[in-house]
Amino acid sequence: KHKRWPSSKYSSLINKFNNQQDVTFVLLGISEEISICDAILDGVNNSANVISLSGLCSIDETIAVISKCSFFISGDSGLMHFAAALKIKTYTIFGPTSHVGSAPSWNNGTIITQSLPCSPCYPRLPQGCGKPICMSNLNSSIVFESIVNVK
Q: At residue 151, does pLDDT exceed 60?
A: no
Q: What does residue 70 show for φ and ψ, rounded to 5 degrees?
A: -80, -35
What is the mean predicted confidence (pLDDT) over 28-35?
A: 96
Residue 117 CB neighbours (<10 A) = 4
Q: What does residue 25 show for φ and ψ, rounded to 5 degrees?
A: -105, 140
What is the mean predicted confidence (pLDDT) over 68-77?
A: 93
36-50, 84-98, 110-124: range with lowest mean pLDDT: 110-124
Answer with the residue of higher pLDDT: 58 or 149: 58
Residue range 130-142, pLDDT digits in tens: 778 888 889 999 9
Distance CA 69, CA 107 (A): 14
What is the mean predicted confidence (pLDDT) over 7-35?
A: 93
Give percent of the chain with pLDDT exceeding 90.
58
93 and 74 Cβ atoms separated by less than 8 Å: yes
